[in-house]
Structure 1
Amino acid sequence: MNRLFCVIPCYNEEEVLHETASRLEAKIKSLVAAGKIAEDSRILFVNDGSRDKTWSIISELHEKSELFQGINLSKNMGHQNALLAGLMTAKDLCDAAISLDADLQDDINAIDEMVEKYLNGADVVYGVRSKRATDTFFKKFTAESFYKLMNGLGANTVYNHADYRLMSRRALQALSEFGEVNLFLRGIVPMVGFNSDVVYYERAERFAGESKYPLRKMLSFAMEGITSLSTKPIKMITGLGVSIFLVSIIVLIYSLVRHFTGHTIPGWTTTVLSVWAIGGLIMISLGVIGEYIGKIYLETKNRPRFIIRDYIGDEEDVEIANYTYKR
């Protein structure tokens, strides 16, 4: 029987955590009763340096039922690092792991189909939103633009897929081989390969609390993904530079012809516009190159992507996890 772990990164989720735990507990028990997963399957919450009562709630849930486990990170490491911490802990403890957010926007009923596709041979099953009926026009527009921009600039992502996915044990082991400090799991997971499938679901409204991804963070997240996975922006800068150089040759020839035919006219406006346009392009180009240099700087430091302060769970699981961390 396959042991399943549900991995849920949490940051200031005290308002929704009890409801999330209740719904996931019912889902796990129904899958166990149907003979789809093992009785010792677990729900693993990862506390990403929350400043509210999130960790104390996780501890209470574990005390009430061994179904719930918890990881407490040493500080806020960011959503992607917290998610990776949970997945890397689960990879030696389970046959498959499902990652999802704590806000209940991801339809947990899709877990049934994910497990079914896993049992039929899929190593990675992506949860893909079929529509965004609950989103505002602005949210829908920016989210869809995000995926189009990512794919357009060379980051291979699954359209309308966030971090709701199932990964088999061997897919998790393969993921552990990727040593990037700058994490963008939505782009890294497709690189793992193996058999994959898709489950479509309708995204619900957030049960409680506030979104952890406002527009500012979404833009930062997009930049992180693009510069972590693709060199296409630098190639675009090269192409732009070549184009401007070719245009400058044409303008030079035109200017010389005008000069020798006696039709030279002072072009103050054109000169000013050209200086500002080219100056702006240079600054943008330097900014993009700087982003890549910054990424190289962080990668060469090889700092830990997460540091675990506490892990509460089955005694055997804790021993295995501690052994893995020491390695």
Structure 2
Amino acid sequence: MAVLPATQREVRLLTKPTGLPKPEHFGVVDTPVVPPAEGEVLVRNRFFHVFATLRILIAGATQDTPFPVLNAGDTLVGAAIGEIVEAPGDSGFEPGDLVSHWLGWREYAVVPAAECTRLDRTALPDPVAHLQQGWTAYAALTRGVQLRAGETVFVSAGGSGIGSMAGLIARRLGAGRVIASAGSQEKADRLRTELGYDDVVVRGVGPLTEQLAQAAPDGIDVFFDNVGGEQLRAAVEAARPGARFVLIGALSGQLAMDGTGTTAPVELDSLPLIHKRIEMRGFSSDDYDDKDEWTERFGAWLRAGEITFPHVRVKGIENAPRTLLEVIEGRHIGAVVIEL
């Protein structure tokens, strides 16, 4: 039996923000470490994912989304990787098991056993790689739009956790040209050099339609959209006949400075959609249950050096609130992970 500390730290939402959250809306507090009850396990978290769309949970969007609402006083949540330290005999788990679950943002988590997934320690070279969002990107490109060899792919927010994986996966699946969008020229340069994008359009330095026309003079075949807004409009203009759009996120609204974070309005000219026979599909990888295919393929690519897991590790739960604000501001490339 592991010797447990009397207390553990977790990050709580202290007050509900109006607009984007700020440091004063969060606090790191000490709470008792409690034993699991029947049907529960106690997990020592090792890593948890910091994701920008946590703002949706804070804003309170629930309609047609799988996300819970976070109210003042609640502990933040998100994907986590940890080790079982206590498990009742009928839980199906044993101390030492590596698991994933949704109760990140705390050092120790009491989790319903049914909401834990046991992870194969040999499946990926590094346990933290289980926090990548590659499955969503892979499923969208193979199930959502069925990417074909030689096609031109445009990935909005190409440096985000999911966007960075989408760009790398598109290349592995045979895309002929892969283009990203970024929020600054510095980030655009890094996307070219670090992730191998063929070109990058930059918000705020000129009309996106003109930049995309230069980056993809023959048009785009696939649009992997994390953003919506003006980038979706630009993609419609750049689309080739028969282009397929897969909509994964709507960061233009979710992270709007003056918005609620719960809507992402955009005005589109419907005539190009019709004339170009553009297919546009909202997508969730939750509709598919064959994630093992991705894990096996990703692990093989990693071991062969054919792909990387772009991510940033930040040590210490005390740094998590600041890191969330940096993620919302788009400062990092790849997934952002707190290491405990």
| TM-score interval (norm. to shorter) | under 0.3
More helix by share: 1
- The structure showing larger relative contact order (alpha-carbon pairs under 8 Å, at least 6 residues apart) is 1
Q: TM-score, normalization: structure 1? A: 0.23
Largest Rg, 1 or 2 = 1
More strand by share: 2
